Each structure stands twice: as structure tokens, then as C-alpha cells.
Amino acid sequence: MSRALLVIDIQNDYFPGGGLPLHQAEDVEGRIVAAIGQARKAGERVVLVQHVSNAPAGLLAAGASGTEIRPAILAAAGEAPNVVKQVADAFHDTDLSGYLEGVTELLICGMMTQNCVVFTAISRAAEAFNVIVIGDLCTAPTEAVHKIALNALSSKLRVAASGDIWR
């Protein structure tokens, strides 16, 4: 079995001082940094995803500091590839599938649970993989929205905790 950890949209706009701060974003970021370390130690692939809006200004606008991937994530990920997307589904009109050749199990984490995480996890392109969403490595604007999204996803695919993935 070959696994990859897909880290979606850990960008400045989702943190305090950004355009749309999410629930406990800094705590989630810390757990993701640790998970990237565990994945790399296990020899698993890590792929970063970055949302860049078509809009000339505002949330996740091209060239804006809010669009940048967080430094701690970049440091932890090392030479991991970065896939740039413009819609919620990280597979849509991107080269993501090329970075996942040979992967059988796709571990998904990131921001925002109810949007980019969900749409990537249930993408038609994701059907090629055994998809697992790592719930404690995701967040949304509120805890309630996060929990509702994970509950809905659990009827379609596996939702697990990071402690169940890397033991």
C-alpha cells in the first residue's frame, strides 16, 4: 500500500489577522505539522494544495500575503510539491493526479472542512483511492460547521483521527 498525505489550503487568510479566520486554526496547524513529520518519517508522500482566487482582491487573491501557505507547513513539508487550485476540488483543472501516481490510500486534511476538504474527498477523481479524511487535522469557520461536515462525510468514506493513522 502506498499512501499520500494531501494538505489542503493551510494559508494565512484562515488564521487570526487573515480574511476568514477559522476555528482553532493554529491548533490544527500544529497537529498538521506533526502529521507531515510522521508521514515523511513513514516514507509517505506529502502534497500541498494552495487555493488562489481568480478575483483581483479579497480572500485568497493572487499575490496577496493571505494566499501564502503558512511557513511552518512549508518547513515541515520540505520539497513536497504544491498544487495550485482555483476551486474547492483540488483535482479540478490541476496536476494533482500526476503527483499521486501509484498511491492507493489518500489521507486528506486541511481547511475548510465543509468546502475544499469535502469537495476534494468526494471528487470523482478521488474514487481511484481509498480516501480517509483526518478529522482532527481539519477545521472550518465554526466547530459546529466542522462537525456537521465530518458527520456528512462519514456516510460516504472513512473519517479518522490522526492517532489512528500513525501509531
Q: How far is it, in rounded angstroms, from Cα 89 to Cα 136?
A: 20
93's enclosing H/E stretch is none
Contact 145, 120 (CB under 8 A): no
Closest CA to 105 of 58, 50, 166, 146: 166
141's enclosing H/E stretch is none
Active site residue 138: no
Catalytic position from the list 76, 116, 117, 118: 116
Distances (CA, A) of 3 to 37, 48, 57, 76, 100: 14, 14, 36, 18, 9
The catalytic site residues sit at 116
